[in-house]
Structure 1
Amino acid sequence: MIVRDSLTSLIDAQPDMKVVAGIGSAGKAMEACRTSSPDLVLMDVRTEHNENGIVAADKLRTVFPEIKVIIMTGMPEITYLDSARKAGVDSFLYKNVHSETLLTTIRSTMEGYGTFPGKSPSVLPGNLTFTKTEINVLKLVCKAKSRKEIAKELIMSEGSVKAVITNILNKTGYDSIMKFAVYAVSNGYILPDD
């Protein structure tokens, strides 16, 4: 609530901007757009009741293609950036930006220019990056799926799943995929339910 109030004050203080609605729930975004007719929606990835802002943005883009959407997050989850792009959002920001960067991004987004970071932030050793397959396997490991279940869900052989897990362990230096899964979840790099 404090963050939303601060953003509202910052935006309303601009001569060329006005906040027409401030809500805490991604689930209420559609109704707020119907009643308030905004030109742009600034939405957090995680809203009240643990709702997913990217999913809500995807729905908004379908129903209101003329509304610009900027997604913000303070979490380093490694799939948010790609998910936001797939949802068709116009811009994406991490919350550690200065207020001037936020305001510039809002203005440039309204002018038709998208702003996206080059990559998700990483504090993992060596700024590790994972392939899409590694991320998919890791998400299922974080859901306590067995190799057999992962293979079935991703339409892979168990040997291929084992090879992907070995690659993840080699990249991270961990000796157990479960230890790394606990680390990744506890630090916000993987949110199994997304």
Structure 2
Amino acid sequence: SDGNNSIWYADLMEAQARGITVLASSGDSGNNPASGKWVGSGVEFPATMAYDAFGDTAVGGTTLTVDANSASPTYLERSSEVVWNISTGTGNGGPAGTTGGISRSFPAPLWQRTTEANAVIQGQGRGVPDLALVANNTLITITVNGRLYLATNASVSGAPFYEVWGTSIAAPVLGGFVAEMDAYNSAR
């Protein structure tokens, strides 16, 4: 749903006062052409919660395709990146895709009223997502207690690592970038 929550409101205000970045996955249920939902119908709380002076950063998903870099074969380079969606059924009962659209509960925050985003949302409400990162099954390695595993065939104590996808992958990836930027800026 796309509603308000007084606890989240207070927590977001405190995070802003402390200089903490709050990231929220936009959701995996909307904007897939095969989902049966009309485009933009699936914006979800808390990704929609943003105000002029504080709020969260809504994180959507992309499908990233990488190729070996011909000049340096030990590196991968991005060959394409498009909106993430799975058009076939998933283990959760249907197609999935990054959720995006316009909130009916939250107005467009100031930063969306003064950017090119307003050409799309036209002041109708808070546009979601703010950013989008890899949400498909792009997982390179997993490290557990200092031990490196290949993501395609790994287990710890007999428990396998499952393939995961969605904006719940994109938000932590962005969190890692934010942490790296914060560390870099703190060291300066």
TM-score range, shorter chain: under 0.3
**TM-score normalised per structure 1:** 0.21
The structure with more strand, counted as a fraction of residues: 2
Higher helix fraction (1 or 2): 1
